Amino acid sequence: MLCQSTSRRLSPTRASLYAFTLVELLVVIAVIGVLIALLLPAVQAAREAARRMSCSNNLKQLGIAVHNYHDTLGCLPPGQISGTAADSCTNFGWAALILPFIEQSNLGAQLDFTTTIIDGADANGVGVSGNARIGATLVPSFLCPSDQDRGLIRCDDFLTSGSAGWGSPYERAPAHYSGICSERITVQGAADPNNGRLGVIVGANPIYGSGSAPDSFDPPPRLGLESILDGTSNTAMIAETASYESTDPKQYGNGQWISGTNIFRKNTERINFVPQCEHFNGKSGAIDQTWTCTECSRYQHDFRSWHPTGASALYADGSAHFLSDTTAVETLGRLCNRQDGETP
């Protein structure tokens, strides 16, 4: 009896209870697919929220650095210093000046402020020594985690068209944050070329003669926190300026820390607007052949980011804010102006 019981085989009907049918397997796969489809957006949103928080922390650190610069030198860092070059694209900017205050003293000590930022570049625009080599060093504090443009920037716009060296794109390390120079738009949205230096991070003023390049520069104004008449909590000081360009080299020199890109709004579009041209199609991929370079240059220095619903900004009081892409143009203009008597 023992041998018979141990050798007894299961019937086909009973054995089938231990297997999945094809229909059951397909149902399980479908349920897993639905769960993944539901969870993936939530995971992506959580990751973006973490990146946005990291971006905000970067801005807060830059705010501390600017305030420490102010406490040490008695003024805010200028948007750009004139140096020795007549070409504004080869002069040092605000980000290079605050390096000692973001734990980059060794990097800042190697810069030679008596010459230009392209000093030490070879015939191909590669920094082999001097300022050009230092300017090709990535600085994490200037990089937004959401921004995809994290490699060296190759761009002709570091020089004025026709000047010495034009045609050899220079390599620079990117910066995704810009000092706010001015609004340059009126409340009605019309361009205002005379409203050029009413921001907080203000550079040297170019003096033009008969040529396309400036003949000289007025020195930047010496601004302190007391110069922000609208109040430090009502005035933006630094904000994101992502490059949406997909071309290499780039047409515009947006976003390099050594020359300190500045925001000076020249259009009436809202945050994260994407011109549908060949230069700014890196985000949307769409190209409208009716756009011209003259038109898209108006969007060169503006509020832009790779965050899906807006861009981060640092106010002059050191607080970081996320500005929605639905923020009214008038509000952005008031944020960019330190003394218009209006609050956003």
Say how far apart CA 88 and CA 37 lie, in whole Å.
Answer: 50
Residue in this structure with the two tokens 């019981």, named with its chain if needed = 5
Give the phi and the psi of residue 37 in degrees, each rounded to 5: -60, -35
In tens, the pLDDT along 146-192 reads: 988 777 777 655 454 444 444 456 778 888 998 888 765 544 344 44
In tens, the pLDDT along 260-299 reads: 766 765 567 788 887 766 666 555 555 555 555 555 656 6
**CA-wise closest residue to 194 among 133, 243, 291, 266:** 266
Say how far apart CA 207 and CA 187 lie, in whole Å.
Answer: 27
Omega before 100 within 30 of 0, i.e. cis: no
Quickly count helices (H) and strands (E) in the chain.
8, 9
Q: With H, G, I as helix, E, B as strand and everything else as coil, classify residue 186.
A: coil
The residue among 324 and 328 whose pLDDT is bigger is: 324
**CA-wise closest residue to 201 among 76, 99, 333, 340:** 76
Q: Kindly report the pTM of this predicted structure.
A: 0.78
Residues with Cβ within 8 Å of 309's Cβ and at least 6 positions away in sequence, in order, are 324, 325
Residues with Cβ within 8 Å of 165's Cβ and at least 6 positions away in sequence, in order, are 118, 121, 125, 159
Note whether 242 and 310 are within 8 A (CB): no
The residue among 89 and 310 whose pLDDT is bigger is: 310
